[in-house]
């Protein structure tokens, strides 16, 4: 399923600890972190399936509560902006990061209109040593009914040895979501400047959530 693979490339960009009254996620171990987040997402979507069918925009709430809290979206936003990040003043950075966050929430919600908890299974690879590392790659496979497995590489980082692990990029079949977004952002900045980039992010953040939508990678990265 090409649409689901494309969506998964945009899935894990923005992760922070959940509130105290929620189940605790082990963010000291990057492998357990991803497995626990995936399990929570699958359980939440399955439990709320009826509400999602009645109110598709409720997927935005699920993304904000279950997925966004474990992605380093500030780091990802700066990486997508590239060298232009240094040229922004503090107000522009705040404006851009806020818009980038809203864009991710909508993107995740649109991705999960394609997800069927009865047809898709995510299998994680073996855990490797990470104690002395600042970045790690967690390998996985998406098993999908009626199609070949999709290879996934989750990229995580931590700012210091004592800091929690945060996801910032996902590669699907060796295609990096972060790289794809960076290429597009640079093109938009060259042609339309900062205001044009903000307009694009806000337009995509305001996209309607439809359960019958057929998605492809170009829906998230092609230029207008």
Position 179 pLDDT exceeds 90: no
- Work out whether strand 166-172 and strand 175-176 pair parallel, antiparallel, or are unpaired: antiparallel
Element housing 167 (H / E): strand 166-172
| Over residues 5-9, mean pLDDT | 47
140-148 long-range contacts, CB within 8 A, separation 24+: 140/34, 142/4, 142/5, 142/8, 144/1, 144/4, 144/119, 144/120, 145/119, 145/120, 146/119, 147/1
Q: What tens digit of pLDDT does each residue of 29-67 get?
A: 999 888 888 788 888 988 999 999 999 999 999 988 887
| pLDDT reported for residue 113 | 82
Confidence category of residue 224, pLDDT binned at 50, 70, 90: very low
Task: Spell out the residues 6+ positions from residue 142 whose beta carbon is closer than 8 angstroms to its own.
Answer: 4, 5, 8, 120, 121, 122, 123, 149, 150, 152
| Over residues 11-17, mean pLDDT | 39
Taking the C-alpha atoms of residue 161 and residue 132, their distance in angstroms, rounded to an integer, is: 7
To which residue do tokens 């894990």 refer?
Answer: 12
Backbone angles phi, psi at 60, to 5 degrees: -60, -45
79, 168 Cβ separation under 8 angstroms: yes
| pLDDT reported for residue 20 | 33
Confidence category of residue 5, pLDDT binned at 50, 70, 90: very low
Laid out side by side, the sheet with 166-172 consists of 120-124, 135-144, 150-157, 166-172, 175-176
Element housing 175 (H / E): strand 175-176
102, 200 Cβ separation under 8 angstroms: no
The pTM assigned to this predicted structure is 0.78
Confidence category of residue 25, pLDDT binned at 50, 70, 90: low
Q: What tens digit of pLDDT does each residue of 114-166 get?
A: 777 778 788 888 888 898 899 999 998 888 788 888 888 889 999 998 888 98
| pLDDT reported for residue 18 | 37
27, 157 Cβ separation under 8 angstroms: no
Position 217 pLDDT exceeds 50: no
1, 114 Cβ separation under 8 angstroms: yes
Beta strands of 72-165 (E only): which ranges? 120-124, 135-144, 150-157
Separation of CA 193 from chain center = 25
> Mind listing the domains of the chain with CATH numbers?
2-219 (3.10.450.710)
| pLDDT reported for residue 14 | 35
């Amino acid at each position: 399923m090409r649409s689901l693979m494309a969506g998964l490339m945009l899935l894990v960009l923005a992760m922070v600890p959940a509130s105290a009254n929620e189940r605790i996620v082990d963010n000291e171990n990057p492998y357990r972190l991803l497995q626990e987040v995936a399990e929570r997402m699958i359980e939440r979507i399955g439990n709320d399936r009826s509400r999602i069918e009645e109110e598709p925009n409720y997927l935005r709430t699920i993304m904000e509560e279950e997925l966004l809290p474990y992605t380093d979206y500030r780091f990802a936003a700066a990486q997508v902006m590239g060298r232009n990040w240094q040229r922004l003043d503090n107000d522009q950075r705040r404006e851009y990061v806020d818009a980038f966050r809203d864009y991710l929430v909508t993107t995740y919600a649109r991705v999960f209109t394609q997800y069927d908890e009865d047809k898709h299974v995510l299998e994680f690879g073996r855990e490797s040593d990470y104690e002395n590392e600042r970045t790690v790659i967690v390998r996985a496979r998406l098993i999908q009914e009626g199609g070949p497995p999709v290879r996934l590489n989750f990229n995580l980082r931590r700012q210091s040895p004592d800091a929690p692990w945060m996801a910032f990029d996902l590669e699907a079949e060796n295609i990096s979501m972060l790289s794809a977004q960076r290429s597009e952002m640079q093109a938009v900045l060259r042609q339309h400047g900062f205001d044009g980039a903000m307009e694009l992010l806000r337009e995509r953040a305001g996209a309607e959530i439809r359960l019958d939508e057929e998605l492809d990678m170009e829906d998230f990265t092609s230029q207008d």
